[in-house]
Structure 1
Amino acid sequence: MAKSKKSSTPINLSDPQYYLNRELSWLEFNGRVLHEACDDRTPLLERLKFLGIFNSNLDEFFMVRVAGLKQQVEAKVSLLTPDGRTPQQQLDDIRSTLIPHVKKEHQHFEEVLRPLLANHGIHILNYIDLNQKQRTHLDSYFEEQVFPVLTPLAVDPSHPFPFISNLSLNLAVVVKNPDTEEEFFARVKVPSVLPRFLPIPPELGDQNSEKPAHWTGVPLEQAIAHNLESLFPGMNIQEYHPFRITRDADLVLEEDEADDLLLAIEQELRKRRLGGSPVRLEIQSQTPDIVRSRLLQDLELTESDLYEVDGLLGLRDLMYFMSLPLPELKDPPRQSVVPIRLQRLREPSLDPDVLETDEGKDFFAVIREKDLLVHHPYQSFSETVVRFITHAAYDSNVLAIKMTLYRTSGDSPIVNALIAAAENGKQVSVLVELKARFDEENNIYWARRLERVGVHVVYGLVGLKTHSKTVMVVRREKDRIRRYVHIGTGNYNPKTARLYTDLGLFSCREELGADITDLFNFLTGYSLQKSYRELLVAPVNMRDRFLSLIHREIENVQNGFSGRIVAKMNSLVDPQIIATLYEASRAGVQIDLIIRGVCCLRPGLKDISENIRIISIVGRFLEHSRIYYFHNNTQEEIYIGSADWMRRNLDRRVEVITPVKDPDIAKDLQEIMGIMLADNRQAWELQADGTYIQRRPYDDSPEANSQKILMNMALRSTGVASNLID
């Protein structure tokens, strides 16, 4: 219990009324993604991209979060969430919240975006709108390219309802035998191996159109639907109706019982490809009751699992149109820069006779001068992080490389560099997290490739995911051994590094090197390490350290000094952290939080959180970096790392947060957060009731888009001012 400064009445800070629901908060975040698709300030093709992201996000939400809640209901779990909801109440609230979102997205696509696309020469047509030449072309394409791939499946007493794969688009078809007048039900899967949208040659376009057509075509399922006679010869096609299902796709692993974790995960992945129990059925609203009931019955779903849409199903496939060469309908090209300190570096050499004194600095000499902060995607990931690891792989003085790998790309240059390092005689140890959700298969592939060249591959700790982003390079220099480290906020994935905002710190400070050494010993061997010199490591000391940092701000205010906390993260869910932030607010600590996604803290509550302000920034790049600032009575401390304030990050994952000791870097990080707190274009303010209000410039004040500002700052920092983004 904590006592308010304004009232002697004790307040229970664990009371459910002070917490927002995690699932509903996530739906609010996805609603902000949908807003970007509806915002006419967003370039047209980018709006399609955001619609695709909105739908892709929803698919994963159902596959994991909704599936988990349904399992809890089936198991009769009665445990309440911190906000006081049962699993069934959450499912009910998810549905009531989501139905307006789904209606809005489809209505906006059909009534706004489709006409706008047509005005710009992108014609997503319905089959019935095609002219005769276009139909003839499409029917020929169907016969040659589509028909051989299709497999109609009958459903009757001798043909049970077929297995419908996860996220597949299908046609429910009703056919009639003209001789017996008997009707039959069949299913045709729309093959995912073919393009979802079939283009029609420009020369077959509408000759009466005043504007040139950049792309004209129809959805694949419509081409199939209007050629069903080929699949059911001699039968009369009565009707057809598209439908799509979502299945439980979360892995269930009993690690304690798995003799071989790699094999166990491969077996679970095979199950995922088929999919678990259905959790959602999507159909078009005009689907007749008899077909709707048939699908629900055969899939063992209820009306509460049914989502009706007006228009196309599976709008995640709209990402296809981002490949069109129409830059005027997209965001201005992104240009990553190379930090000045890393320009004109000397290339590494495997020749031990190449001396440090030779002309030009190497990467390690730059880090020895002082710590280096990199900010992606504004600064190049390939020319910083990838180059650091590649540099180490080909440096004759490097003895060992150790790394944690949570997610990486399919053609990973980092893994290729680690393979080269092993082939060059370095000792390479990599912790590959096989349980990184939806990246398990990719990680298994890389783990096997690494093992084949002699890399020491570790698969993590039982019961814990290793989510930390750390690299350590051990190097012989004259008469000593020096350790160089990179500690980041994001995955070692060059592809997502172009889309996510993340930070990385390069350092060779002894304390960090010693801590990272202890961390890898904890990960790869038997260690009961309980303390670290500087690092905050979950699940060892991170929770306690964060709580003590918040309590220190409280004590400073109680002693008559000022107290301030600024934190940026992806999600704030942990009840203990939230309750402690409430205590800090009640004591008078000023708190600003930048939380992209889920936030369970209610700001602005009288006597509880009046001193807490929360914004979310949703823009061109996915905000992914984590920064934590504590005023500490003018002795400011600032941290970056891999962990959010969530139970899973603090208790069930291996995470690393590092203090930033270099005063110049600390100022840079404060400037980054200050720019974000001043954003009036992509920022949304969280209200006490859990809703968000998007900021707008006041009167004639200029627009402040934090991502655009940071992009231009990076360009100016290297003298590339000619390509500034307007």
Structure 2
Amino acid sequence: MIKDKYTYINREISWLQFNARVLQEAEDESVPLIERLRFLGIFSNNLDEFFKVRYATIKRIEEAGKAARSELGGYAASELLEIITQIVIKQQSESLDILNKIHEKLEDENIYIVKEDQIDESQHSFIKNYFIQHVSPALVTIVLSDQVDLPTLKDSAAYLACNMKLLDGKCQYALIEISRTMDRFVVLPKKDNIDYIIMLDDLLRYCLHDIFSIFEYQDITAHMIKITRDGELDFDSDLSKSFIEKISDSVKHRQIGEPIRFVYDKTIDEETLRYFMDKMSIETNDSVIPGGRYHNRRDYMDFPSLGRTDLLYDKISPLPVKGLSLERSIFSTIANKDYLVYTPFHTFSYIVKFLREAALDPKVKSIKITIYRLAQISHVASSLINAAKNGKKVTVAIELQARFDEQANIDYAEQMVSEGINLLFGVRGLKVHSKMCVIEREEEDSIVRYGFISTGNFNESTAKVYTDFTLLTADQRILKDINKVFNFFETNYKIFRYKHIITSPHYTKSRFFKMIDNEIENVKKGKPAFIKIKLNSISSYMMIDKLYEASRAGVKIQMIIRGLCCLVPGVRGMSENIEIISIIDKFLEHTRMLIFCNNDDPKVFISSADWMTRNIENRVEVTCPIYDNDIKQELMDIFEICWNDNVKARILDETQSNIYKKNDLPKVHSQFDTYDYYLKKLQS
């Protein structure tokens, strides 16, 4: 099948439409006001990462002169870069309009974000003192001249580009870095029951004379600029360096990578803009994007709550899993039955409890686990170190190339090595993205395995906001296969065979093709047939083509895709039997599950893998079958709750207009209804 603009949606354009759905949450007046600001922060943070990774990749393709239309969904690289830039400019403009409307709503709630020219006398002394005590000691200010080269600007850091009109008529330029180590939002003293906040940028503008007091000037202006750099890691070939050293050096080098986006305050005067662009060797044909007064709006993710719980989402208390107690041995409980933990609806404490029990149990001989992204303060890591101190053989397959978390993982890796943990760095050319753990316990002169397999990272922080499944199991069939994956890490010249789990890079395509073919055969024979898929993203053309084949055969396919989706649903003769929705809401939808009808004997799976080329061919991933009938039904129930969402679900189609799914049926708000579903389970 020809890979063109009509058969597939370009992945970059689709991703930008996903970020548009995030922006819809910022615009949605049913979302609590401060949460709307935080969605603006998520939108901005997403965009930064998009430019560092995807835009930079296309830029490299263009510069290399590669003919990559098939990989880019039928577009030439230069054409696609221009389309992306225009979409981003439009979205940035929309986000500024939304921000202004939110500011107006905040004022209705007696919360004022004030600028430097709105400071009154009572606030003056507080700001001056705050500047002296907290800001000035950490301030980085660079005075520029024709003789002084501009230092390399940090990736994604924001700067105030200053222009002083001196008394002799000359211009003196300077640059002030907006430090990430300081709070971006400074809460001013409350007055008459009104909250006041000034952004650090405006506080600096208010104190410009204090910063540049040695200069005699008649006027001074300060406008924000930001540069985004290529986020790809480049490895050197020095054989004397360890893998950890190479990763660490590459992370440091990322800060001086090639610039791929320059954003500036559109009110800046042409002379000042030209000066700084010349200093940074930025050409007008690069991705130069006019923006608003403030950049790095990702900081809105940390907008202060001011004690206004009425302007935030109601907090939920994570529920216990019915039948699974934190006060009894998890091993003895799961020895009899599998259990599913669905965070954040359930508490992540079960995973920590499992590892702590393994660390202390004298019968546990070994622990093997994969690590992709850990929390800043990780109870998972401390449990593994505790186990090593207790004499257990602990093996950790840690992924040092988890994008933008490399340094944190390096720090943990060095700490684990010092504590005697056996570290594995995966397989050359393959990222370890699978989420799994297996322990071996001595019972009555034999070794019994216990473990867990997850769709998400073993991270206490993200478990509060990401939806993820974790299967706790003592099913020896599954755990024997999981143990083989760890053997593959150590002897990766061997290709192991797995009877139960599905692994990338060797078996994902063939096993899922076989199951899709089974549905095709069943529908041709008049038997029940359907496929239900929930993923973060789908961009693999071969998987999409296979789903198109199933659709043409008459298999009904329902898909829930949070992020990018290159599949074009609902096209006559190609995909008329495929429907797709996307849910963006309070929690980030991160679960991956797959359900195949199998002639009314459903096959149900949870997975670490999306259906992207990288997950299928370039990563170690694990898709786990669900054998427990109760959990099978639970997962099918969860899919139906999500599929019937008519509050936060958007319809994905060839128009990419992100229309909300609305109907006359009773309201289904899937994330809230899921919580109620588990609450009823506890009460039954």
C-alpha distance in 2 between matches for 1:531 and 1:522? 10
Determine helix, strand or coil for the equivalent of 1:457: strand
Residue in 2 aligned with 1:197?
Answer: 185
**Displacement of 1:255:** 7.8
Which of these residues, 362, 366, 371, is aligned with residue 400 of structure 1? 366
CA contact 1:472–1:485 (8 Å) conserved in 2: yes
CA contact 1:530–1:541 (8 Å) conserved in 2: no
Determine helix, strand or coil for the equivalent of 2:646: coil
**Displacement of 1:562:** 2.8
Pair 1:690 & 2:680 matched: no
Structure 2 counterparts to residues 335-374 of structure 1, below 5 A: 335-343=317-325, 345-346=327-328, 362-374=329-341
CA contact 1:603–1:610 (8 Å) conserved in 2: yes
Residue in 2 aligned with 1:656?
Answer: 622
| Cα 1:219–1:647 shift into 2, 3 Å | same
CA contact 2:35–2:311 (8 Å) conserved in 1: yes
Which of these residues, 31, 35, 38, is aligned with residue 49 of structure 1? 38
For 1:19, give the aligned amino acid: Y
**Displacement of 1:692:** 2.0
Pair 1:99 & 2:79 matched: no
Name stretches of at least 5 consecutive residues in structure 1 with no aligned partner: 1-11, 347-361, 722-726
Structure 2 counterparts to residues 505-584 of structure 1, below 5 A: 505-584=471-550
CA contact 1:488–1:640 (8 Å) conserved in 2: yes
Determine helix, strand or coil for the equivalent of 1:218: strand
Determine helix, strand or coil for the equivalent of 2:403: coil
Determine helix, strand or coil for the equivalent of 1:474: strand
Residue in 2 aligned with 1:642?
Answer: 608
C-alpha distance in 1 between matches for 2:135 and 2:648? 43
Which of these residues, 38, 42, 55, is aligned with residue 27 of structure 2? 38
CA contact 2:604–2:632 (8 Å) conserved in 1: yes
Residue in 2 aligned with 1:284?
Answer: 265
| Cα 1:90–1:363 shift into 2, 3 Å | same
Mean alpha-carbon deviation: is it higher for 651-660 or for 255-264?
255-264
C-alpha distance in 1 between matches for 2:381 and 2:237? 26
Determine helix, strand or coil for the equivalent of 1:648: helix
Residue in 2 aligned with 1:357?
Answer: none
C-alpha distance in 1 between matches for 2:220 and 2:359? 65
CA shift digits 1:620-670 (9 cap, x unpaired): 111111101111112211111100101000000000001111111111111
Paired positions, count: 680
CA shift digits 1:456-491 (9 cap, x unpaired): 111111000000001001011113211112111000
C-alpha distance in 1 between matches for 2:424 and 2:460? 22
CA contact 2:370–2:434 (8 Å) conserved in 1: yes
Residue in 1 aligned with 2:161?
Answer: 172
Which of these residues, 138, 146, 152, is aligned with residue 135 of structure 2? 146
C-alpha distance in 2 between matches for 1:234 and 1:385? 60
C-alpha distance in 2 between matches for 1:567 and 1:322? 38
Residue in 2 aligned with 1:245?
Answer: 227
Pair 1:155 & 2:144 matched: yes
For 2:277, give the aligned amino acid: L
C-alpha distance in 2 between matches for 1:657 and 1:49? 33
| Cα 1:336–1:256 shift into 2, 3 Å | farther
CA contact 2:488–2:496 (8 Å) conserved in 1: no
C-alpha distance in 2 between matches for 1:657 and 1:256? 36
Determine helix, strand or coil for the equivalent of 1:200: strand
CA contact 1:602–1:689 (8 Å) conserved in 2: no
Mean alpha-carbon deviation: is it higher for 50-59 or for 130-139?
130-139
**Displacement of 1:14:** 4.3
Determine helix, strand or coil for the equivalent of 1:718: helix
CA shift digits 1:245-295 (9 cap, x unpaired): 2122221236896852111001112212x3312222222221111222222
For 1:193, give the aligned amino acid: T
C-alpha distance in 2 between matches for 1:535 and 1:143? 60
Residue in 2 aligned with 1:83?
Answer: 73
**Displacement of 1:175:** 1.7
C-alpha distance in 2 between matches for 1:268 and 1:399? 37
| Cα 1:27–1:444 shift into 2, 3 Å | same
CA shift digits 1:494-539 (9 cap, x unpaired): 1101110010112222211211121110012344124211110100
Residue in 1 aligned with 2:671?
Answer: 707
| Cα 1:673–1:231 shift into 2, 3 Å | same
C-alpha distance in 2 between matches for 1:636 and 1:120? 51
Mean alpha-carbon deviation: is it higher for 32-41 or for 560-569?
560-569
Pair 1:389 & 2:355 matched: yes
C-alpha distance in 1 between matches for 2:347 and 2:446? 31
TM superposition score normalised by structure 1: 0.91
CA contact 2:535–2:592 (8 Å) conserved in 1: yes
- Tell me the C-alpha RMSD between the 2 structures: 1.8
Which of these residues, 435, 440, 445, is aligned with residue 401 of structure 2? 435
**Displacement of 1:600:** 0.2
CA contact 2:484–2:496 (8 Å) conserved in 1: no
C-alpha distance in 2 between matches for 1:683 and 1:430? 38
**Displacement of 1:223:** 2.0
Mean alpha-carbon deviation: is it higher for 687-696 or for 670-679?
687-696
Which of these residues, 205, 215, 228, is aligned with residue 208 of structure 2? 228
CA contact 1:530–1:540 (8 Å) conserved in 2: no
Identity value in percent: 34
| Cα 1:151–1:665 shift into 2, 3 Å | closer
C-alpha distance in 2 between matches for 1:275 and 1:160? 15
Determine helix, strand or coil for the equivalent of 1:17: coil
C-alpha distance in 1 between matches for 2:260 and 2:204? 26
CA contact 1:521–1:527 (8 Å) conserved in 2: no
**Displacement of 1:305:** 1.6
Pair 1:589 & 2:577 matched: no
Determine helix, strand or coil for the equivalent of 1:342: coil
Residue in 2 aligned with 1:302?
Answer: 283
For 2:28, give the aligned amino acid: D
C-alpha distance in 1 between matches for 2:12 and 2:237? 27
Mean alpha-carbon deviation: is it higher for 317-326 or for 470-479?
317-326
Which of these residues, 455, 462, 466, is aligned with residue 428 of structure 2? 462
For 1:368, give the aligned amino acid: A
For 2:147, give the aligned amino acid: S
C-alpha distance in 1 between matches for 2:145 and 2:449? 68
Name stretches of at least 5 consecutive residues in structure 2 with no aligned partner: none
C-alpha distance in 1 between matches for 2:419 and 2:187? 45
| Cα 1:475–1:144 shift into 2, 3 Å | closer
CA shift digits 1:211-253 (9 cap, x unpaired): x12x312111222223222333232133222212212222123
C-alpha distance in 1 between matches for 2:341 and 2:145? 62
Pair 1:492 & 2:458 matched: yes
CA contact 2:159–2:224 (8 Å) conserved in 1: yes
CA contact 2:11–2:72 (8 Å) conserved in 1: no
Determine helix, strand or coil for the equivalent of 2:232: coil
C-alpha distance in 1 between matches for 2:222 and 2:307? 35
TM superposition score normalised by structure 2: 0.96
| Cα 1:559–1:642 shift into 2, 3 Å | same
CA contact 1:19–1:82 (8 Å) conserved in 2: no
**Displacement of 1:374:** 1.4
C-alpha distance in 2 between matches for 1:140 and 1:319? 26
**Displacement of 1:429:** 0.7
CA contact 2:452–2:473 (8 Å) conserved in 1: yes
**Displacement of 1:697:** 4.3
Which of these residues, 378, 387, 405, is aligned with residue 421 of structure 1? 387
For 1:191, give the aligned amino acid: S
Structure 2 counterparts to residues 593-612 of structure 1, below 5 A: 593-612=559-578
CA contact 1:255–1:462 (8 Å) conserved in 2: no
For 2:398, give the aligned amino acid: V
Determine helix, strand or coil for the equivalent of 1:649: helix
C-alpha distance in 2 between matches for 1:673 and 1:419? 37
C-alpha distance in 2 between matches for 1:330 and 1:512? 42
